Amino acid sequence: MIPNTAVVANRQADPADPADPDFFPTPPWGARAGAELVKRLDPRARSVWEPACGAGHMVHGLKDYFPRLVASDAYAYDGNAICDFLDPAESYPGMVDWVITNPPFKLAQPFVRRAWSVASRGVAMLLRVGFLESAGRYGLLYGGDPGLTLWSPFIERLPMTEGRWEPDASSATFYAWFFWLKPQLRPERFMARIGGELRPGTEPIPPGTETRLTHPDDARLFGAVDRSRT
C-alpha cells in the first residue's frame, strides 16, 4: 500500500500487468532532491499529483514536503489508484499545484503537455538528460510551448534499474530534474538571458545529496538491500 496519499478515484479496474517494460523506480533520495528544488522555486506549493507512481518510491520521497499528495498509475501495483494520465476521459483529482513524476521516457513529451494542462503552478519531471535532444522537443524546451524554466542534473549518478530499486546499483545513465513554471511564478527569475533571449537555467544537484537525503527506512520499506550500508 502506498502510504499517506489520496487516490484519484474509488473504482474497480482489472489489474494491469505490473511488469511495465518502462518501470524504473526512483530512489527516494532522488525524489527528495526534486522536492527540495520545487520548494525553492515555489515555496507555496502544497498539492501534488504523482501520475506514474509505480510501487510508491517517488511518493515516499515526496510525502514529507507537500500536505496533499495524490498518487496514481496506469498499471496496478500495491494499492495505487488506476488512472491513465494521458487519457482525458479518466477521472482525475482536479487542479493541483504541481505534477511531479518520473514518467515512462517514451511518453515523456505527452506527459509534460498533459501535466501542464492540469497543474496550476508548475511541472517537475525526472528524465534522462537525453530529453534535451530532438528537434521535436525544441518548442517544449526552448520555444515557449511552454518552454523549460530550469533543469537540474545530478552530479552524482542516480542509479535506476528496470523493475526494482537497487540502492547500491551503478548506472551509466545521466538523469536530471526538469521544471516548467507557470507565468504567475515569474519563471524568468530562474532562467538565463543569452543574446537577449531567455533560455533554461541550470541548477546542479551537488555531490553529497544521496547521503544527506537517504533515510534509514528507505530500503527496508521497499524490500531493497543496500549492500553499501551493511
The secondary structure of residue 156, as a DSSP letter, is S
CATH of the domain at 130: 3.40.50.150
Give the residue numbers spanning the domain of 78.
28-223
Indicate whether 21 belongs to any domain: no
Q: For residue 19, tell me if it sits in a domain.
A: no
Please indicate, yes or no, if residue 4 is contained in any of the structural domains. no
Residue 22 lies in a domain: no
Residue 67 and residue 4: Cα distance in Å, rounded? 10
Counting other chains too, the contacts that 135-142 makes at CB distance below 8 Å and 24 or more residues apart are 136/109, 137/109, 140/109, 140/112, 140/113, 141/200, 142/199, 142/200
What is the structure's pLDDT at 71? 94
pLDDT value at position 228? 47
Please report the pLDDT score of residue 11 as a whole number.
36
The pLDDT of 9-32, averaged and rounded, is: 64
Number of domains the chain is built from:
1
Q: Is 177 contained in some domain?
A: yes
pLDDT band per the 50, 70, 90 thresholds, residue 223: low
Average pLDDT for 127-132: 96
Asked, for residue 7, whether it belongs to a domain, the answer is no
209: pLDDT strictly greater than 90: yes
- Work out the average pLDDT over 154-181: 84
* Eight-class DSSP state of 71: E
Q: Mean pLDDT across the stretch 70-88? A: 87
Q: What is the CB neighbour count within 10 angstroms for residue 222? A: 17
What confidence category does residue 21 fall into, taking pLDDT thresholds of 50, 70 and 90?
Answer: low
Is residue 155 a part of any domain in this protein?
A: yes
Is residue 15 one of the residues assigned to a domain? no
pLDDT in tens, 54-67: 989 999 999 999 99
